[in-house]
Amino acid sequence: MNELENINPFQILSKHLVRIEEMLEVVIEVVELNRNSPTAVQSELLSVSQAAAFLVLSKQAVYRNIAKIPHYKRNGRLYFKRDELIEYVEGGKYIVRKSSTFFR
C-alpha cells in the first residue's frame, strides 16, 4: 500500500496529457497532408452518375439540364465540382408565401 500512497495522481495526468498532445500533433499533421494531397482535389470532381446521385436526379435529368448545371467537359467526359453543385442548388431557392386569397 505504501507504493500507492506515494503515487501523485497529478504526475500521472501530466504524463498522459503530454502523450495526448503528441498524438494530437500527429493527427493534425496527417489531416494537413491529406487536405493538400492531389487525391483530395480529385475527390471534389464528380462524374455524371455521382452528380446525379448528389442532386437526387436521374442521369437523364442531369443531361437534360446540362446547360443550367455548372460543369466541365474534357475529352468528351463531363465533370462536376461538389461546391459548384451546392451553389447551383442554393441559387434556386425561393420564398413560399401563404396567401389567404389563393384558395377562396
- Same domain? 10 vs 26: yes
Q: Tell me the average pLDDT of the chain.
A: 82
- Domain harbouring 61, CATH code: 1.10.10
- Same domain? 34 vs 49: no
Q: How far apart are CA 34 and CA 40, in angstroms?
A: 7
Instruction: Name the band, by pLDDT with cuts 50, 70 and 90, for residue 38.
Output: low
Is 37 a residue whose pLDDT tops 80?
no
> pLDDT higher for 102 or 47?
47
pTM greater than 0.75 (yes/no): no
Backbone angles phi, psi at 47, to 5 degrees: -80, 180
* Domain carrying residue 66: 44-91
Is 35 a residue whose pLDDT tops 80?
no
Query: What is the pLDDT, as a whole number, of residue 40?
Result: 53
For residue 51, the Cα-to-chain-centroid distance in whole angstroms is 14
Domain count, the chain: 2
The answer to whether residue 101 is domain-embedded is: no
- Same domain? 54 vs 82: yes
Is 71 a residue whose pLDDT tops 90?
yes
